[in-house]
């Protein structure tokens, strides 16, 4: 039986060698100068074998990590699978990260090498070897290979926003990735995968777990194809879906919102999409999207830490469309237990809001979940306190066992699917010479779900006007990925605090719900652009 992602590739390639695995629209293949627009399972397996031999000959093996700065290009998948074949792990990098963010991840992960084709200049001064994806020779690693192989071995190290400052490195094993495939393969009804027939349209980035875990492993387990885009383009979405013969897609809430804003066209119903699966669709858009485009949107929930072991979807009727329902813990896939709990972890009565706690059923409650946070055993054990994974999400469970998402317990802003830690942005705000106090909030946004808002009390001698707001936003844009920078900057004479001098976010509620109507609040969202 396969025990690694690479072994699963070989198994599926042996069964369905000529089925497509990776597909790109023609226009994107041309823009990226790809040699072709699609690769079958056997073609991917052959490319991976060649790459794995190069890594092995250079001395890479179990225990090594290689950073991949390759966007959504096919080379990301080729190198990841090749590293997996030799027992090494990948560290995917976000191209939108600024230098300080990139340097932290490279140093913290102890990556031996960076593979990149178009962004080399970003990391040339960070003291780590850099090679293009087609390099014939690779520099040898600094350390000798030392580690295990198989189901429990690390397959990837993904960094997620933490609530205590720097991002945390989630160690993800082969077994973790198998959990995604096992979950998707077992689904029935609206999101059942027909073996060898599905073509899943994916716009989410390879440095997030959805594209490389949920969708890719679902296709790998069932012989389907993953259609990759560089990112979401509302104007060409339906055209790409039709031309690539997509049968399903994954989404974040911003995608239905932007598609609903597009004028009606002949493509609205010309596609062959059977379902969309994702999370965060605006309640007002859910039923309207399904009626206009004829595609059910199956809302779900998961975290990087849970993988497929913890994913839930509102699959069975009633789906409670437009009400934030994420389904029931009792669903096909890896057996799951979930409870809505109070601050002490005690289960609450049905209908009462509390924190969602999850774990695998059986003797090992962490089976198929993440392996822990790199170099942070304390944070790992805190997340698993009491034998349950504490998700930080507040939910309520109805009498029938359906869960409804309410809000995040942690100060995390979720903008267009990106989790942004408020404390990380606050730490940068406080380095601006005009900022005396700062708080970061999640302001409502009709398109992106939430937007980053900075509430600032200035130091003496500074005028709280638009020019200063722009200066503060630009200060953040120079030090953080563009999506983390404030889209709103609001000035207050002082910030309301608790007895322990923590900012009382609840006292700033009006700013969050209706920022444009508040005096002293400046809308700077047009400055946030990907470079």
- What DSSP character marks residue 244? T
Which of 203, 198, 191 lies closest to 247, judged by CA?
198
Q: How far apart are CA 293 and CA 296, in angstroms?
A: 9
Could you tell me how far CA 187 lies from the centroid of its own chain?
21
Residue 499 has pLDDT above 50, yes or no: no
Q: How far apart are CA 135 and CA 58, in angstroms?
A: 12
Q: Quick: pLDDT tens for 141-169.
A: 999 988 889 999 999 999 987 555 688 99
Q: Quick: pLDDT tens for 266-279.
A: 889 999 999 999 99
Does 411 or 24 have the greater pLDDT score? 24
Which of 283, 276, 282 lies closest to 298, judged by CA?
276
Question: Residues 214, 216, 217, CA angle at the centre, nearest 5°?
Answer: 70
**% of the chain exceeding 90 in pLDDT:** 71
Tell me the CB-side half-sphere exposure of residue 209, using CA atoms within 13 A. 30
Residue 388 has pLDDT above 80, yes or no: yes
Residue 501 has pLDDT above 70, yes or no: no
Which of 25, 21, 23, 26 lies closest to 43, judged by CA?
21
Q: Span 216-225, mean pLDDT?
A: 98
pLDDT at 162: 55
pLDDT at 164: 52
- The token pair at 232 is 């979401």
* Average pLDDT of the chain to the nearest whole number: 92
Q: In this predicted structure, which of 127-141, 144-158, 265-279, 425-439 has the lowest mean pLDDT?
A: 425-439
Q: Span 30-37, mean pLDDT?
A: 97
Question: What domains sit in the chain, N to C, each tagged with a CATH number?
Answer: 320-410 (2.30.38.10), 412-527 (3.30.300.30)
pLDDT band at 503 (very low <50, low <70, confident <90, very high): low
Q: From residue 527, how far is each of 458, 475, 485 by CA, in Å?
A: 21, 12, 9
pLDDT at 225: 98
Q: From residue 144, how far is each of 72, 91, 209 by CA, in Å?
A: 30, 18, 28
pLDDT at 141: 96
- The token pair at 194 is 């027909």
Q: How far apart are CA 447 and CA 475, in angstroms?
A: 25
**Do residues 179 and 368 lie in contact, with contact meaning Cβ atoms separated by under 8 Å?**
yes
- Cα-Cα-Cα-Cα torsion 505, 507, 508, 513, nearest 10 degrees, comes to 100
**Do residues 375 and 108 lie in contact, with contact meaning Cβ atoms separated by under 8 Å?**
yes
Q: Span 34-38, mean pLDDT?
A: 97
pLDDT at 127: 87
| Torsion-angle region of 5 (φ positive above 0: left; ψ -120 to 50: alpha; else: beta) | alpha
Q: From residue 247, how far is each of 146, 194, 275 by CA, in Å?
A: 43, 10, 7
Residue 359 has pLDDT above 70, yes or no: yes
Q: How far apart are CA 11 and CA 298, in angstroms?
A: 30
Residue 368 has pLDDT above 50, yes or no: yes
Q: Quick: pLDDT tens for 456-487.
A: 989 889 999 999 999 999 999 999 999 999 99
Strand partners, 276: 249, 297
Element (H, E) at 171: strand 168-173
Residue 504 has pLDDT above 70, yes or no: no
Q: How far apart are CA 430 and CA 478, in angstroms?
A: 14
End-to-end CA distance of the chain: 45
Q: Span 375-396, mean pLDDT?
A: 95
**Do residues 314 and 325 lie in contact, with contact meaning Cβ atoms separated by under 8 Å?**
yes
**Do residues 281 and 340 lie in contact, with contact meaning Cβ atoms separated by under 8 Å?**
no
Q: How far apart are CA 271 and CA 239, in angstroms?
A: 8
Q: Quick: pLDDT tens for 103-126.
A: 999 999 999 999 999 877 778 888
- Residue 421 sits at φ, ψ, to 5 deg, of -80, 120
pLDDT at 434: 92
Q: Quick: pLDDT tens for 53-110.
A: 999 999 999 999 999 999 999 999 999 999 999 999 999 999 988 888 899 999 999 9
Q: Span 382-405, mean pLDDT?
A: 94
- The token pair at 490 is 């609001």
**Do residues 199 and 244 lie in contact, with contact meaning Cβ atoms separated by under 8 Å?**
yes
Q: How far apart are CA 216 and CA 128, in angstroms?
A: 29
Q: How far apart are CA 191 and CA 221, in angstroms?
A: 15
DSSP of 446-508: TTTEEEEEEEEEEPTT---SHHHHHHHHHHHHTTS-GGGS-SEEEE-SS--B-TTS-B-GGGG
Q: How far apart are CA 485 and CA 96, in angstroms?
A: 12
Contacts with 517 (C-beta within 8 Å, 6 or more apart), sequence order: none
Q: From residue 27, how far is each of 34, 121, 202, 224 by CA, in Å?
A: 10, 26, 16, 22
Q: Quick: pLDDT tens for 166-207.
A: 889 999 999 999 999 999 999 999 999 999 999 999 999 999
Strand partners, 313: 300
DSSP of 248-291: EEEEETHHHHHHHTSPP-TTTTTS---EEEEE---HHHHHHHHH
């Amino acid at each position: 039986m396969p025990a690694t992602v690479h072994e699963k590739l070989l198994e599926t390639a042996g069964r369905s060698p000529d089925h497509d695995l990776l597909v790109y629209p023609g226009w994107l293949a041309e823009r990226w100068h790809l040699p072709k627009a699609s690769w079958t399972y056997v073609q991917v397996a052959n490319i991976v074998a060649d790459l794995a031999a190069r890594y092995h000959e250079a001395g890479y093996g179990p225990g090594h990590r290689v950073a991949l700065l390759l966007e959504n290009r096919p080379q990301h998948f080729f190198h990841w699978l090749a590293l997996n074949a030799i027992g090494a792990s990948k560290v995917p990098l976000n191209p939108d990260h600024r230098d300080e963010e990139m340097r932290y991840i490279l140093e913290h992960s102890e990556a031996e090498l960076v593979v990149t084709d178009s962004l080399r200049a970003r990391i040339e001064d960070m003291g780590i070897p850099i090679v293009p994806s087609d390099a014939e020779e690779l520099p040898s690693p600094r350390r000798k290979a030392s580690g295990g192989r198989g189901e429990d071995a690390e397959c990837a190290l993904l960094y997620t926003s933490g609530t205590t400052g720097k991002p945390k490195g989630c160690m993800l094993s082969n077994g973790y990735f198998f959990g995604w495939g096992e979950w998707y393969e077992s689904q029935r009804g609206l999101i059942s995968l027909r073996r060898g027939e599905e073509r899943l349209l994916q716009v989410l980035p390879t440095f997030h777990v959805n594209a490389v875990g949920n969708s890719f492993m679902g296709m790998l387990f069932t012989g389907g194809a993953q259609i990759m885009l560089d990112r979401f383009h509302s104007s060409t979405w339906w055209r790409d879906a039709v031309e690539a013969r997509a049968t399903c897609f994954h989404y974040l809430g911003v995608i239905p919102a932007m598609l609903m804003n597009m004028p009606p066209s002949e493509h609205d119903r010309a596609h062959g999409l059977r379902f969309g699966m994702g999370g965060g669709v605006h309640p007002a858009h859910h039923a309207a999207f399904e009626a206009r485009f004829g595609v059910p949107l199956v809302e779900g929930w998961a975290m990087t830490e849970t993988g497929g072991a913890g994913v839930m979807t509102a699959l069975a009727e009633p789906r409670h469309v437009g009400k934030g329902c994420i389904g029931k813990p009792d669903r096909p896939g890896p057996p799951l237990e979930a409870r809505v709990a109070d601050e002490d972890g005690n289960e609450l009565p049905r209908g009462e809001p509390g924190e969602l706690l999850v774990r695998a059923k059986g003797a090992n409650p962490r089976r198929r979940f993440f392996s822990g946070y790199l170099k942070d055993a304390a944070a790992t054990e805190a997340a698993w306190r009491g034998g349950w994974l504490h998700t930080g999400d507040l939910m309520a469970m109805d009498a029938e066992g359906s869960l409804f998402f309410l809000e995040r317990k942690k100060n995390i802003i979720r903008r267009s699917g990106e989790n942004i830690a408020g404390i990380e942005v606050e730490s940068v705000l406080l380095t601006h010479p005009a900022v005396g106090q700062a708080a970061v909030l999640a302001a409502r946004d009709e398109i992106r779900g939430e937007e980053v808002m900075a509430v600032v009390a200035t130091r003496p001698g500074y005028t709280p006007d638009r020019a200063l707001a722009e200066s503060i936003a630009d200060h953040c844009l120079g030090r953080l990925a563009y999506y983390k920078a404030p889209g709103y900057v609001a000035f207050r004479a002082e910030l309301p605090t608790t007895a322990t001098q923590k900012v009382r976010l609840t006292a700033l509620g009006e700013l969050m719900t209706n920022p444009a109507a508040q005096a002293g609040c400046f809308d700077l969202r047009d400055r946030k652009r990907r470079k």
